[in-house]
Chains A and B, each alone.
Chain A
């Protein structure tokens, strides 16, 4: 055997091991998610969420939405937040040093005036320039903080400092929550006092009909790129997070929609301003903090309360977003590397973090190297065509299985896409995402690793067209 053949053999063995381990890991998650979702659907059948609306016993919630240059959507979205169904809420919009007229639009629309609301920087933040309240009774739960730009994490920290309620809901100012999202997401806190955080599902609103900040008709996007992302989101939320939640190993609660117990977040020191993955980092730090002290707690994913968001429709924007996500993931894993494989950190240290490191961080590298080595081997005459085709088909079938599995979970549970034609399109996209789209996402994630180790720390621009600009549809 030549040295190259030995290297190739070793590489093949590593890839095979990796492939089998990934397949088994995700299949287990899918199976756990299946049972968990079935249980959730049964449970929600007997619940009267409207009872919360009429009860003084519900836990009040502060909704915190950081806004940076959101003038296109801010007014509609604040109206939408103010009309959410929940008995006691305050809506805190944090204008994080926007360069456009976000603040002025808010001041004019909601008759705001500067107030003497006390600001105690329990978590240090950039300077707060002013806190505004509305002079109109119908908007008396609205608080607007104007502060020097410090990034999303800093804005959320400022919101936490100002908030008055024991639970807070972090959401993106450009996302739309369903009317009953808070009712559904708050239930785990009221059912079990050991719950410290709850994540809801984020769904894709491109091409949905949006009126007055509400999604009134759900449709599949017309473009392929957002449909591929729908498959990805279903996989990530229904097939993966649901499973992690069941074993209390949930490491991500999306920054677009999550509820947290404020006292625990304060004890952990709030959001980390030095990472682009502040949502995942906070959740991992909460695990770290609570497990270190041996406290009993749960973090829960609830698959039903929906936050609608617009996803990128161009490859460039999507690439920037995925790059940021991957850097955030890597940053969190490196920051909390001390938890790795230490029994004291239970399922997070023994399962969650190693799983993410192996499959989400190293996975793209393994796959990418395959795309390089296979043509190289073919060129040098070392490629066993039969084995290659077999491996390719197995990998393809398995990839489709996981995507179809996610669509199956959606169909047995919430069935948000009403028409059979939608389902057929989803299934076809689950098939075709393996040709081109998957390879692109691998490339973006590999590039993100390169960027991370070469000092790229920025967020990258995200172009948003806005939900409601008089055209009714995004």
Chain B
């Protein structure tokens, strides 16, 4: 009996494997065909869509000019939309995908007035409506992908739905929604809302968001300062870090005032930011923290002194290089190398008269500097 069961199970399993293999090959072959068809449709749409975008309109107020363009393309637009339903039924989805990908590609290369025209085409072809519908899909990856694509389409119709998505349970969806909101409404318009609504910002999310924030420059400072008040520690840390990257002097007072009440990791970030902002009124705070019991805080304070570049700190940094532990000494050597020429002179002295790791670190820094000069 058992033998019979095993025999039948094995035969069934063998057939399943055969079926699976054949299915894989068919799927792959169909994939190749689909790819070819997609490319063919893309070529077709690449010939149709760019001329629509480049139609000239009479010079005048922006809104009038927009309306004139919309009227001018109305006929061709309807024809293009109809063409989605003319091909073989099997390839309808591919047709849509091709048109959308052509628009997305153009969207990445065009700015200014033409950018609004692409958004209009996305809306008219129904792509925006479809992606907004996908934002409520129960599968998180569909929501995430829709959020990402809406960012490319830059339609303001999507803003309310994207704001709701900032509370999604999946962090990749929240990230896509944040990115897209910054794309659609700009850093000035959307960053406050993003920072208010997000409950955590991981380093990864920070990396993704920072690109747009740095590009926005001073426009991002005010929303970031508001972010310092967030109840979320990770949001506050992100705001501190970004303000440091932007070298915003406005952050010095709030950080100096609240420094004592911050947690250790936030203090480390704050020291870096204070150093980057380059104002000597934080000198006392930084020097005071070079004497902290915590190695991490000492390293951050020493590095901040390097960013600040004040010659008056050279004796203290030299002392740290000679006396403190290896990682702090290394930070001190790095900091001295940033303060030219007095820091370099101090390094030369340590290289000549110092011993142990202090001398090795000084020699290393001088070597780095000479390499830099040779390279220049």
Contacts and interface: CB of A to CB of B under 8 A. Distances in A.
B241 A57 contact: yes
Interface in A104-141: 115-120, 133-137, 140
Contact of A118 (B29, B148, B207, B364): B364
Specify the main secondary structure of chain B where it touches its partner.
helix
A120 B25 contact: no
B141 A397 contact: no
Contacts of A351: none
Contacts of A45: 141, 144-145
B25 A423 contact: yes
Contact of A116 (B367, B374, B375): B367
A411 B28 contact: yes
A51 interface: yes
A165 interface: no
Interface in B192-217: 202-204, 206-208, 210-211, 214
Interface in A388-405: 390, 393-394, 397-398, 400-401, 404
Interface residues of A, number: 52
Given A46-B173, A57-B203, 18 more contacts: A42-B144, A45-B141, A46-B144, A51-B211, A56-B245, A118-B360, A135-B375, A136-B375, A137-B375, A140-B371, A190-B203, A190-B204, A192-B202, A397-B13, A423-B24, A423-B25, A427-B21, A427-B25
B110 interface: no
A-B residue pairs, 8 tightest by C-beta? A42-B141, A137-B375, A116-B363, A118-B360, A190-B204, A116-B367, A190-B203, A46-B144
A386 B207 CA distance: 63
Interface in B332-376: 357, 360-361, 363-364, 366-367, 371-372, 374-376
A232 B22 CA distance: 21
A60 to B, nearest CB: 13
A115 B368 CA distance: 8
Contact of B24 (A137, A394, A408): A408
B207 A57 contact: yes
B24 A118 contact: no
Interface in A356-389: 386-387
Contacts of A189: 203
B264 to A, nearest CB: 14
Interface of A: 42-43, 45-48, 51-52, 54-59, 115-120, 133-137, 140, 187, 189-193, 386-387, 390, 393-394, 397-398, 400-401, 404, 407-408, 411, 415, 418-420, 423-424, 427
Interface of B: 3, 6-7, 10, 13-14, 17, 20-21, 24-25, 27-29, 31-32, 140-141, 144-145, 147-148, 172-173, 175-176, 179, 202-204, 206-208, 210-211, 214, 241, 245, 326, 357, 360-361, 363-364, 366-367, 371-372, 374-376
A55 B211 contact: yes
